Amino acid sequence: MKPIADYSSEDLSALLNDLEVQYKEAQAQNLKLNMARGKPATTQLNLSNALLDKMESYTLADGTDARNYGILDGIPECKKLFGELLGINPDQIIIGGNASLNVMFDTLSFLCLFGTGGCEPWIYSKHNGNPVKFLCPVPGYDRHFTICEELGIEMITVPLNEDGPDMDIVKKLVSEDESIKGIWCVPLHSNPQGVCYSDEVVEQLASMETAAKDFRIFWDNAYGVHHIYEDVALKDIIKECEKCGNPDRVYYFFSTSKISFPGAGIALVASSPANIKELKGHMSAQTIGHDKLNQLRHVQFFKTPENIRAHMKKLAEELKPKFDMVLDKLDETLSGSGLASWSNPKGGYFVSLDTLPGCAKRTVELAKNAGVTLTGAGATYPYGKDPKDSNIRIAPTYPTIDELEKAMDIFTLCVKIAGIEKLLEK
Amino acid sequence: MKPIADYSSEDLSALLNDLEVQYKEAQAQNLKLNMARGKPATTQLNLSNALLDKMESYTLADGTDARNYGILDGIPECKKLFGELLGINPDQIIIGGNASLNVMFDTLSFLCLFGTGGCEPWIYSKHNGNPVKFLCPVPGYDRHFTICEELGIEMITVPLNEDGPDMDIVKKLVSEDESIKGIWCVPLHSNPQGVCYSDEVVEQLASMETAAKDFRIFWDNAYGVHHIYEDVALKDIIKECEKCGNPDRVYYFFSTSKISFPGAGIALVASSPANIKELKGHMSAQTIGHDKLNQLRHVQFFKTPENIRAHMKKLAEELKPKFDMVLDKLDETLSGSGLASWSNPKGGYFVSLDTLPGCAKRTVELAKNAGVTLTGAGATYPYGKDPKDSNIRIAPTYPTIDELEKAMDIFTLCVKIAGIEKLLEK
């Protein structure tokens, strides 16, 4: 398609008429396609089915019966496996329940209820009329924003550049405003754009001056081993924080939700010895321990970090044709049009697309009315409000290739229609 | 043994000398026995080993793939199974994670963070200098007390009679003091005494006037189907609260920790529609959903409430000889002595023993020095402080019968020595 700016207003109207005919044809197919959530496809899940086999042994190396009570912070073999995978000291890891989202919520709610490092509980600040604020690089992950909203933490957006959050803005904000207590980060293959943080950004996050003594980085490395097109290295934020004299600054989250089974996987939080001790203190009132059998199941299935990486290669082979399909369709139909721009992720679960300003909601609506469900426009922003109304998250993993092809044909059609409608309004 | 009151002081000294000789012989055996925690024995766990078999199917009746994301509040077949078992409407049930302790902590922390029914968050009251208080029938379960302590909730003890908490005291306290926001209850085979609440007590708990609008009963029915000597019925507290116009008063907790595997079981909370809606609201920020595969595993293993009851009969057959051993030993050695009194539970996990005042700590210490670990004296009271220093919790489930016999011989010896030492002090 030639650049939209080269069209006369008559040509645009004619083009819109053509596109509307195609749209009606698409509607007539009565399709029901979903590109909304980052759910693994059945073929991906099948690669982990051996996790459902009979457990031949339930005794740990130290003799503990994994069927019985005991062990607050995770079985040693599980801490070792994921410690080696991520390059983290197992003593600085707590294995949580079935999902890292739960560990993130609990960690943040502990900070609200109890504070950290002797500082005031965050909910007291709020009750005293002093808001607690978090920086949210945007676009970002809607469930991070929901946690903040639920806990009454105000969200301040900062731009997410190609190498991470805009650190000039971040550094200025955190150095000036004591009420900014944290930042959400998805440092590898970010949701939705696939941004990977550069070493320089990691170093600055670890070293920057913060007005709040209890400033915390919520480092959600959800896609830490989820490379598709290219392996990307990530600088070690825990060691970097240590080196900069800010050892307690970071909580590092990870899970196997998109490695083994979502909702039946293993989640973990890693942090400084002081933070781990504090978290274990709160946890010891909350639980006797998480599901050790599921931890052992994962250890018996994966055995080594190398096997996890090999497993991720197989998953990448499942995902690559789907990402190819999305990116090829975008290239074919929208490249050079000036109607949209999009990310070219190296891994992760999403492609992020920006329409012309003011066209995201309309695009999602058009797609919905033609049977294609997308993530709600605005979901990638705090409070569901995208100020430019332009960002749309495409989740290519769950549909089949055939479904994806049909869905992308309809979606790109909708991007064009919404864009031209907007241009004709002016 | 004849009543201790019938001994002269010389006879007592002579008896103590004899007992101390026996104690030294016991010490010389270098035993290592544990009657401390309510852990199932290996033979009990083995009865649930089919839960570790290969899962042949992971598709729910409604077509949901249990390996993937989705379903916040538990799979329908699991809510149905436990709803039928407990006589609770499945719509009023949320299936939680791997342990009810976690669900209780989270429920209480939600009340602290968010309040309920439009009332002020409990932590705000605390921050305003108005303490939040819970009633704790004593002796009781140490982990309930730990949750309160962690969340800064003050504990007021009330006596636990043979039919439940002393309701005259409870009713007076809750009607007068607005800062009393709740009560812990283990209504069947209570930990540690095995008390079962009478219908009248349940009715009064449901109907009583409370000064606090947001007064809540934490109904931990941990031993709801754990009958050993006799099946005991429990009046339906949820329906009773409804009937009395206090539908939102009760949170009902249950788990399979001592039915299937501790820490790898199924936990649930049940409550009024309004409370369930509120809890789901908070939960939806905390998690996408708990482990559906483990829920399905339990449904596939148990299938029907009748099968769960049959399974509990088998567990009771494992436990009865152990409870017989404990109770027979107590009868043989201490009955009529005046040195101790103890409970005769109809089910559950514990026997509760009261020494002479001021003798519990000394008894536990003596036992420890002869190789028998008991639950710490005081653990059955808030803040670990038994004002009479007399209550000791005996947990007979984990040791073998042989170990239990040896442990009880040493334990009863220690009860006598500590008691006579105390009498000779005077």
Question: Is A52 an 8 Å CB contact of chain B?
Answer: yes
What dihedral do alpha carbons A343, A348, A350, A353 form, nearest 10°? -10
Query: Which residues from B are below 8 Å from A48, CB to CB?
Result: 67
Q: Is A254 helix (H, G, I), strand (E, B) or coil?
A: strand
Question: Is the model's pLDDT at A1 over the cut of 90?
Answer: no
Domains of chain A, start order: 4-44+309-425 (3.90.1150.10), 70-303 (3.40.640.10)
Q: Which residues pair with B91 in a beta bridge?
A: none
CB-based contact, B69 to chain A, within 8 Å = yes
pLDDT at A272 over 80: yes
CB-based contact A124 B127, cutoff 8 Å = yes
Count H helices and E strands in chain B, helices first. Answer: 14, 13
Q: Do A286 and B37 touch (CB under 8 A)?
A: no
Query: Are the beta carbons of A109 and B109 separated by less than 8 Å?
Result: yes
Which position has the token pair 């066209």? A359
Which B-chain residues 90-119 have CB contacts (< 8 A) with chain A? 97-99, 101-102, 105-106, 109, 112-113
Residue A143: the pLDDT is: 97
Looking at the partner chain, which of A37, A263, A285 has a beta carbon nearest the beta carbon of B105? Answer: A285
pLDDT (0 to 100) of residue B179: 97
Do A121 and B123 make contact, defined as CB atoms within 8 angstroms? yes
Contact A34/B at CB under 8 A:
no
Closest CA to A261 of A411, A102, A39, A59: A39
- Kindly provide the ipTM of the predicted complex, given to two decimals: 0.97
- Indicate if the pLDDT at residue B365 is higher than 90: yes
Question: What is the number of other CB atoms lying within 10 angstroms of the CB of residue A333?
Answer: 18
Q: How far is B395 from chain A (nearest CA, A)?
A: 14
What is the mean predicted confidence (pLDDT) over B352-362?
98
pLDDT for B181: 98
Q: Which of B54, B286, B295 to mutate to test the interface with A (most CBs of A within 10 A)?
A: B286
Lowest mean pLDDT among B33-42, B89-98, B359-368: B33-42
And the tokens for B342? Answer: 């103890």
Which residues of A fall within a CB distance of 8 Å from B143?
A: 285, 288
State the Cα–Cα distance between residues B167 and B200, nearest whole angstrom.
Answer: 9
Nearest residue to B110 via CA among B281, B234, B297? B281
Query: Which segments of B47-181 does DSSP mark as H helices, in order?
Result: 76-86, 100-114, 122-127, 142-150, 167-176
pLDDT digits over B99-114, tens only?
A: 999 999 999 999 999 9
Confidence of residue A329 (pLDDT cuts 50, 70, 90): very high
Distance from CA of B55 to the nearest CA of A (A): 5
Model confidence at B37: pLDDT above 90: no
The predicted structure's pLDDT at residue B1: 83
In angstroms, what separates the C-alpha of A257 from chain B's closest C-alpha? 9
Q: What is the pLDDT of residues B291-312, one digit of tens each?
A: 999 999 999 999 999 999 999 9
Do the Cβ atoms of A293 and B261 come within 8 Å?
A: yes
Nearest CB to B97: which of A69, A98, A282? A98
* Mean of pLDDT over chain A: 97
Is pLDDT at B85 greater than 80 in this prediction? yes
| Residue A82 confidence (pLDDT) | 98
Asked whether the predicted pLDDT for residue A403 surpasses 90, the reply is yes
Reply yes or no on whether the pLDDT at A268 is more than 80. Answer: yes
Q: How far apart are CA B407 and CA B93, in angstroms?
A: 41
Please give the average per-residue pLDDT across B327-354, as a whole number. Answer: 98
Question: Helix B9-28 crosses helix B401-425 at what angle (to 10 degrees)?
Answer: 150
In this complex, which of A112, A263, A286 lies closest to B105 when CB atoms are compared? A286
- The answer to whether residue A383 neighbours chain B at the CB level (below 8 Å) is no
Specify the amino acid at residue A92: Q
Give residues with Cβ within 8 angstroms of B118, minimum separation 6.
none
Q: Three-state SS for B114?
A: helix
Question: Across chain B, what does the average pLDDT equal?
Answer: 97
Q: Do B262 and A101 touch (CB under 8 A)?
A: no
Q: Which residues of B fall within a CB distance of 8 Å from A55?
A: 52
Percentage of residues in chain B having pLDDT higher than 70: 100
**Are A294 and B53 a contacting pair at CB < 8 A?**
no
* CB-based contact, A57 to chain B, within 8 Å: no
User: B41 to chain A, minimum CA–CA distance in Å?
Assistant: 9
Which among A124, A146, A288 is the nearest to B285, CB-wise?
A146
Cα separation, A331 vs A323, whole angstroms: 12
The values of phi and psi at residue B165, to 5°, are -60, 150
Q: Are A424 and A386 in contact (CB under 8 A)?
A: no
Taking only the tens place, the pLDDT of each residue in A151-194 is: 999 999 999 999 999 999 999 999 999 999 999 999 999 999 99
- DSSP track, A36-94: -S-PPPHHHHHTTGGGGS-----B-TTS-BTTSS--SS--HHHHHHHHHHHT--GGGEE
Which of residues 117 through 176 in chain B touch A, CB cutoff 8 A? 121, 123-124, 127, 143, 146-147, 149-151
Task: Indicate whether A426 pLDDT > 80.
Answer: no
Determine contact, residues A420/A15, Cβ cutoff 8 Å: yes
A131-167 burial, b at 16+ Cβ within 10 Å, e below that, comes to ebbbbbbbbbbbbbbbbbebbbbbbbbbebbeebbeb
Check CB contact under 8 Å for B102 and A58.
no
Q: How many CA atoms lie within 13 A of B279 on its CB side?
A: 28
Task: Give pLDDT, residue A107.
Answer: 98
- Look at residue B426 and tell me whether its pLDDT is greater than 80: no
Per-residue confidence (pLDDT) for residue A215, from 0 to 100: 98
Q: What mean pLDDT do residues A315-322 have?
A: 98
The partner residue sitting opposite B52, judged by closest CB among A58, A97, A289, is A58
In the stretch 255-294 of chain B, residues with CB closer than 8 A to chain A read 257, 261-264, 282, 284-294
B292:A264 CB<8 A? yes
B264 band by pLDDT with thresholds 50, 70 and 90: very high
Residues of A in contact with B290 (CB under 8 A): 97-98, 263
Interface with chain B: mutation pick from A44, A55, A68, highest number of B CBs within 10 Å: A68
As a residue count, chain A comes to 426
How many A/B residue pairs have CB atoms within 8 Å? 156
Choose the closest CB to B54 out of A54, A147, A294.
A54
Contact B291 A292 (CB under 8 A): no
**For B38, nearest residue in chain A (alpha carbons):** A69
